[in-house]
Amino acid sequence: MTKGTVNISRSIWSDVAFKKQPFTEREAFMWLIMEASYLPREKRVGSVIVQTLRGQCATSVRFMADAWNWPKSTVSRFLKRLENRDMIGTDSGTGVTLVTISKYDDYQAEIKESGTPRKSKAGQQRDSSGTNYKKGLIKDNNITPSISPPEKPKSDRQLFVDALVPMLGAELANDLAKHRTKLKASNTPRAASGLIGKLSQCPNPVFAANEMILRGWKSVEPEWLERAQATSKNGASSMASAAIANHQARQESSPESFADIPNPFLPRQEELYK
């Protein structure tokens, strides 16, 4: 007999009456049909959740190789050959292979009470609209198979920056992360928590962060800022005193040359009598 269909339980693959041995190509294709979804559903493959439609099987080359007792390269070549013959369509991504059986309704037709096959609603829609499978990918009602990739976790550096943004703003938070990277300091969520605590102790966290970058600090303490500001004031005062002394010495050594040049660091003569 070459026509008609039969219902075979999926448990046949694990029946102890049959010893485990490599599948024939015909058995491998039967396995694909039996693994395909009878109705639309969600299926998890590893860390990926796949939306499958009727006649679609979400699996992986590694899983099929283990189930069929084949090398992975043989599985890949077999799937390509079936696809070239328009028997299946494949869509791969994120380690998942979505296989669509092109004539699934011919293999898994519903049975009427009279015993004759009855096509599914999806199959009737395809027949009436003239739409068919193109390389096995379902196009009915603008529905396309979708594979939802797992959300990529954020890096420690990004988590570090995200934690600092509410306090410093995005630009300064990124600049601070780059600065710490150059100093070989760790940019982790834990490091961000500690740094936020230090910045919160400063009168102006934004100013403190800018001082860290300017002065090459990995972290910051309020006392460091006070010392840095005091040093800056003392340094400016010392420079001014030295400039005044230098100007006076040059004026004394050559009075004619400096007679009409006022000392830039002293008030003008007319300002003294205002």
Is residue 163 within 8 Å of residue 189, measured between CB atoms?
A: yes
What is the C-alpha separation between 137 and 135, in angstroms, rounded? 6
Model pLDDT for residues 76-130, shown as the tens digit of each residue: 999 999 999 999 999 987 778 999 999 888 888 765 555 555 555 544 444 433 3
Is residue 177 within 8 Å of residue 193, measured between CB atoms?
A: no
What is the helix (H) or strand (E) element at residue 98, kind and residue range?
strand 96-101
Model pLDDT for residues 226-272, shown as the tens digit of each residue: 888 887 766 655 565 555 566 566 666 665 555 555 555 455 555 44
What is the C-alpha separation between 86 and 90, in angstroms, rounded? 10
pLDDT value at 146 more than 70: no
What is the C-alpha separation between 27 and 215, in angstroms, rounded? 71
pLDDT confidence band for 25 (50 / 70 / 90) = very high
